[in-house]
Amino acid sequence: MSHTKFLVFALMGLFPMWAAGSPFLVCDPYPPSGAPASAVPTEFVVTISGVTAPITTPAVDVTGGKAMKLDLGPLNLTGTRTITAKAKNVWGESAASIPFVFTAGAPVTPTGFGLSAH
């Protein structure tokens, strides 16, 4: 191994990289207890206030069945938003979920600076 490659691997060990993750919209896995396999969704249709069109995202495999995992990061959301979702498969679409309200945005400026002996 060349000295350069060794140095790169050594530095990677000294300075671990942090995995930055976006906020994800998720749901409990399907099927719910006792539900038939035909009730499992293949995709979800998500409506977000302030976003023009609903977003369709495929159901993903998780422990316990299928679930939704929608990456909200690329949407660059800010402010208070309301989300509803519908589960969908070849047989049709569910009713809309109960609205989920959250506030997206950067944290407020820190205050109350001082010194501490601890």
- Mean pLDDT for the chain overall: 83
Residue 66 has pLDDT above 70, yes or no: yes
DSSP code for 31: S
Pairing verdict, β 79-89 and 43-48: antiparallel
pLDDT at position 32 is 67
CATH topology of domain 21-103: Immunoglobulin-like (2.60.40)
Average pLDDT over residues 92-117: 91
Rounded distance between C-alpha atoms, residue 30 and residue 6, angstroms: 47
61 closest CA partner among 90, 40, 91? 40
- Give the pLDDT band (50/70/90) at residue 79: very high
How many CB atoms lie under 10 A from the CB of residue 84? 16
Residue 88 has pLDDT above 80, yes or no: yes
Q: What is the pLDDT of residues 16-42, one digit of tens each?
A: 444 456 799 999 998 766 778 788 899
pLDDT at position 48 is 98
Average pLDDT over residues 94-100: 96
pLDDT at position 67 is 94
Instruction: Please give the share of the chain, as a percent, with pLDDT higher than 90.
Output: 60
Q: Give residue limits of the domains in the chain.
A: 21-103
Token reading at 6: 């060794």
